[in-house]
Amino acid sequence: MIEAVGLTKSYGPKTAVQDLSFSVRPGIVTGFLGPNGAGKSTTMRMLLGLDTPTSGHATVNGRRYADHPAPLREVGAMLEARAIHTGRSARNHLLALAATHGIPTSRVDEVIDLVGLREVARRRAGGFSLGMGQRLGIASALLGDPATLILDEPVNGLDPEGILWIRNLLKSLAAEGRTVLVSSHLMSEMALTAEHLIVIGRGRLIADTSVADFTAGASRGGVRVRTPQADELAVLLRELPGAMVAVEDEPGVLTVEGTDSEAVGRLAAEHRVVLYELTPRQASLEEAFMELTRDAVEYEAVVRPAELVKESAA
Amino acid sequence: MSTATYVSKRAGDGKVTLPRVVTAEWIKFRSLRSSWITLVVAAALTIGFGALFCWATMSRWDHLPAEERAAFTPAEHSLRGFFMAQMAIGVLGVLVVTGEYSTGMIRASLSAVPKRLPVLWAKALVFGAVTWVVATASVLVAFFVGQSILAGKHLDTTLSAPGVTRVVFGMGLYLTAVGLLAVALGTLIRNTAGGIASVFGVLMVLPLLSEALPSSWQDHIVPYLPSNAGQALTHVTQAPHEMAPWPGFGLLCGYVVVALVAAAAVLKRRDA
Ligand SMILES: Nc1ncnc2c1ncn2[C@@H]1O[C@H](COP(=O)(O)OP(=O)(O)OP(=O)(O)O)[C@@H](O)[C@H]1O
Ligand SMILES: [Mg+2]
């Protein structure tokens, strides 16, 4: 169980995280999402006591992280940047961490096998590929067999096989009753892995929702209509309350938002407009995520593709 | 979905204790090749330069002016390699800390020991002990090698001559204090280049700079600089205005303690 209460972090004039409160339950994977610079990594560092919050506080299993007498057995973490000395072998890295808690060497070898690094465990970590580095990060996190895991973008840089491996690992860890908080940029990946989502943007909480609710909410994506009488239908549709019509570049194609396919179909029938196509368009999870965080994007291209569409449609 | 909360069971039931953190720091220290290379370099500089100085003096002895002969102290002469060795030890002391910041390892270290201060104390303890052993051993070797060279002109001395034991073992202590000062400066500055520069600054540049001061000030400042105060312990007889051996070394230890306390305060407070 992780609880954040009013977490705020400022770096000079820059507020990276602002008044963020959430709780992360055990037994499920919770996805922590937000665009670049949203404050995910900063929040995770505050959970681990590495950065001191400007105000607010965070607890893990009822205590501040630093107040646990054996923190590695309470929380396992993998942070964004690799927290490994490049000159040391993977095994020695884990042995040193284990020594701080009197964790036996057998457990070190166990986690090495678990993440599949046995062959390279005695090689310098500096020579590791991105994927091997991520696996070593996971091994460090699992070392203390902790009840809570905090992982910052664990799939970053992994190949499809590695991504699948992480996905299954996280689910099985959660199924054992652990609390699992995983950050990501990828909504689609989280939809497959997580059961619950915490979405932040510009350091503020945007959504705290189950994946099921988010996915259901994402489905209102407008209706695509193809008709030889596009101009006529567009005029009629604009009179429907709440409906917004966009004329697409493709000839005879309209996109209607704010209403559903039934209403469009009925309207067309009433006015004897011929329809070739009437398709409810499902916004992808990724689009829904971008929609949700649009106003909270920290770093963005000067012109947003979404705006281009709106302008050409107007 | 399971509702039972997981309890750690496969990783023993140990808590974080200072002895365990010391073990961890020892594992970290010995598992880096650079640690051993630098220690070997420090030992080689101590022994090699000591031997070189002794050999050079001995071969020129008959042509040396009388006042140089009068000032000659065989014990100190055989240990003159310390001047280079203290730099190697200073660099390693800085790296013990800044190597963790530059690689990101510090986040793993401080996550494992979130109280933080045990990490600094353990680093100081491990590095101090290793430095003391290596420095004392190489100083002893340098002493005996140097004396055997000087024996060619019967210029050699022995450990039982007045002050010589203090000088030889004092050199090991001085180098250990330098190492600890470097650990503290590394923690304060967190950056390898800056840390090394500050060690050089304190040990080498400060004494040079202070020579530019008016001579009436010099007597009040120069003897109390960390390097000069500590090196008093490594001189058989004291120069005018130089501190007495043990008070001098005591002052160096005072600087080291102040630096370590400042490092602890900063480590505890700053974001990692
Ligand atoms: N140590 C720091 N000093 C100054 N600013 C910082 C620091 N750490 C983070 N920031 C700023 O705080 C904001 C949040 O950064 P953070 O790394 O937490 O975002 P993030 O959500 O993890 O982003 P990403 O998805 O790119 O990893 C950014 O604007 C970043 O520039
Ligand atoms: Mg991040």
Option in B5, B100, B115 nearest A85 (CB): B100
Has domain A220-281 been given CATH number 3.30.70? yes
A282 SS3 class: coil
pLDDT one-digit tens code per residue, B28-71: 999 999 999 999 999 999 999 999 999 999 999 999 999 989 89
> What are the domain boundaries of chain A?
2-216, 220-281
The per-residue b/e assignment along B4-27, b for 16 or more CB within 10 angstroms, e otherwise, is ebbebeebbebebeeebbbbbbbb
A103/B271 Cβ within 8 A? no
| ipTM given for this complex | 0.93
What value does the mean pLDDT of chain A take?
A: 89
Structural contact between residues A154 and A147, judged by C-beta atoms closer than 8 angstroms: no
Reduced to 3 states (helix: H, G, I; strand: E, B; else coil), residue B233 is helix
- Measured CA to CA, the distance from residue A257 to residue A242 in angstroms comes to 8
Is A66's CB within 8 Å of B12's CB?
no
**Closest alpha carbon within chain A to B109:** A97
Interval B221-242: pLDDT, tens: 999 999 999 999 999 999 888 9
CA dihedral of B85, B91, B93, B98, whole degrees rounded to 10: -170
Q: What is the pLDDT of residues A83-115, one digit of tens each?
A: 899 999 999 999 999 999 999 999 999 999 999
Sheet with A204-210, side-by-side order of all strands: A75-78, A148-152, A179-184, A29-33, A196-201, A204-210
CATH 3.30.70.270 fits A2-216, yes or no: no
Provide the 8-state DSSP code for A22: E
Q: How far is B76 from chain A (nearest CA, A)?
A: 37
Sheet holding A55-60, edge to edge: A14-24, A2-11, A55-60
pLDDT in tens, A160-215: 999 999 999 999 999 999 999 999 988 888 988 999 999 999 999 999 999 888 87
Whether A143 contacts A108, CB under 8 Å:
yes
Q: Cα–Cα distance between A158 and A253 in angstroms, integer?
A: 40
Please judge whether A74 and B105 are an interchain contact, meaning their C-beta atoms are less than 8 angstroms apart: no
Q: Which residues of B touch A (CB under 8 A)?
A: 1-17, 20-21, 23-25, 27-28, 31-34, 99-100, 103-108, 110-115, 269, 271-272
Q: Phi and psi (nearest 5°) for A243?
A: -80, 140
Q: Could you tell me if the CB of A299 is within 6 A of ligand 1?
A: no
Entry pTM:
0.88
What tens digit of pLDDT does each residue of B147-206 get? 999 999 999 999 999 999 999 999 999 999 999 999 999 999 999 999 999 999 999 999
Tell me how far apart the alpha carbons of residues A202 and A18 are, in angstroms, rounded to a whole number. 8
